[in-house]
Structure 1
Amino acid sequence: MIDKKTIQGIIEKEIENSDLYLVETKVSSGNIISVMIDSLAGVPIITCIELSRAIEGHLDREVEDFELSVSSAGIGQTFQVIQQYHKNIGKDVEVLTTDGNKFIGKLLVVGENEIEVEVEELIKVEGKKKKQTVSKSLTFSFEQIKSTKDIITF
């Protein structure tokens, strides 16, 4: 079986002088290799193709056969690395906490150990019939977060 660390080493060497970063690498028992990359500016398909060819160039199918796919992180997928949080500052995200609560709001700040999200809440104002929307800022430590993903609003 092809070693995951070997694949990660190849990828890191190939992307070290670029704005790309590795999001995830998977190697199944059948040598099915799945690589997900990203960058702050997004990843064009040609970049995925070039990286795929570079990885294939370091592996020998005569020694061990494999299947390889290289893709970019997509919309709606959960964040795997801190760079994805930085990429989405100012954008709408969905945060699912470890206690099962879901919050949707704008990602404001990404710190070393936490994030800050601006959420809107409907509250009843005393003396008025309609509820009023109020924005408030919530801070979540990475330990509190089960998953975070970007969302598209229309």
Structure 2
Amino acid sequence: MAEIIEKVYALLEPLLDGTDIFVVNIKVKPTNNLKVYLDADSGFSITKSSSVNRKLYAAIEAAGMFPDGDFSLEVSSPGVDEPLTQMRQYKKNIGRKVTVTDKEDKEVTGMLREVTDEHMVLEVKGKKASDPVKSTEIAFSNIKKTVVQIIF
């Protein structure tokens, strides 16, 4: 599986060169179902997804990775419930509400205000409306997962 992922990544890299699209994850199911999760600094639209899908599918076929043609390809953005995994995702989501789970399984929810290489800063509201808003710095080394919260 790792070999297939490396080959897909190698075929994908030139397709993304010069764009703001980046790879979040690549998964391979035992049935040769390839799942490629991408994101973009400006948002990953259906148009971008289908364009990459067509080009990558053609590149996989041209490379002869699956001589019998027995593979399927899905290109999409990670689901809204998927944790952030890359620094670019953190930076892209500045100004959005996130829930951070630390390595001791403690959760804190707040507005993502700042991202550096070592930590992030959340603006956290108090329990009561009269409580002051405080800035909380969280080291990336202490984060188990961070999930963007969808506000309706």
Shorter-chain TM-score bucket reads: 0.7 to 0.9
Could you tell me which residue of structure 1 aligns to residue 11 of structure 2?
Answer: 10
Q: Compare the two structures and name the one with the higher helix fraction.
A: 2
Could you tell me which residue of structure 1 aligns to residue 81 of structure 2?
Answer: 76
State the 1:14 CA deviation.
0.4
Moved more, 53-62 or 66-75: 53-62
Could you tell me which residue of structure 1 aligns to residue 112 of structure 2?
Answer: 107
TM-score (norm 1): 0.87
Structure 1 unmatched ranges of 5 or more: 124-130
Could you tell me which residue of structure 1 aligns to residue 31 of structure 2?
Answer: 30
Could you tell me which residue of structure 2 aligns to residue 126 of structure 1?
Answer: none
Distance across 2 between alignment mates of 1:143 and 1:103: 16
State the 1:63 CA deviation.
4.1
Note if 1:135 corresponds to 2:133.
Answer: yes
Could you tell me which residue of structure 1 aligns to residue 47 of structure 2?
Answer: 46
State the 1:74 CA deviation.
3.5
Count of matched residue pairs: 147
Contact residue 100 and residue 147 of structure 2 kept, 8 A: yes
Note if 1:20 corresponds to 2:21.
Answer: yes
State the 1:141 CA deviation.
1.2
State the 1:96 CA deviation.
0.8
TM-score (norm 2): 0.88
RMSD over equivalenced CA pairs, Å:
1.8
Q: Compare the two structures and name the one with the higher strand fraction.
A: 1
Contact residue 122 and residue 134 of structure 1 kept, 8 A: no
**Paired AA for residue 140 in structure 1:** I
**Bigger CA radius of gyration:** 1
Contact residue 120 and residue 135 of structure 1 kept, 8 A: yes
**Paired AA for residue 16 in structure 1:** D
